Amino acid sequence: MLSFSAADFFHFHYPELAAFDLSGSETFFLKGNEGYFYLIIKNRKSGDENAGFFRLGITKENGEETIVEKGVSYNSEDNTYSYRLWDDMAIEDFCFAKKVNVEFRSTDGKIISEEITDSEQLEKISLWVAAFCYFGLR
């Protein structure tokens, strides 16, 4: 059993939380800022400076699915793509997930996808959500 506190995920500049790496690959992140939460996709090639699309699927133990498919734009300041998920899903959808799938497709054909099923990583996601709900919504 993993042991974490909300402080493990808290960034020193209140109320922003440190970005959370969904799978440990340093590609897909959750980020909370000023009460909103975002999906951040880090760009690994400087030549991929264009828009793209993502698909995020979360499957619960009971089989219920949450799916968000949207376009994302490129931010050259930090070399990322980002999308404010707040408008399309509840942050709590990440809690107690059985599986998280995330895929990014750039307009030039680049595809990056990951499936997160490791129970320890899924628990860390739930704990980040708890920290977001505590710190990010105050």
Weakly modelled stretches of the chain, pLDDT under 50: 11-14
Q: How far apart are CA 70 and CA 94, in angstroms?
A: 18
pLDDT at 10: 53
Q: Any idea how long the chain is?
A: 138
CB atoms within 10 A of CB 83: 20
Of 133, 37, 52, nearest to 86 by C-alpha is 37
For the structural domain made of 12-133, what CATH number should be given? 2.60.40
pLDDT at 16: 65
Backbone dihedral region for residue 125 (phi beyond 0: left; psi -120 to 50: alpha; all else: beta):
alpha
Burial annotation 84-108 (CB, 10 A radius, 16+ → b, else e): ebeeebebebbbebeebbbbbbbee
- Residue carrying the six token digits 């490129």: 74
Residue ranges per structural domain of the chain = 12-133
Q: How far apart are CA 123 and CA 103, in angstroms?
A: 21
Q: How far apart are CA 28 and CA 75, in angstroms?
A: 15
pLDDT at 97: 95
pLDDT in tens, 27-57: 999 998 777 899 999 866 555 567 889 999 9
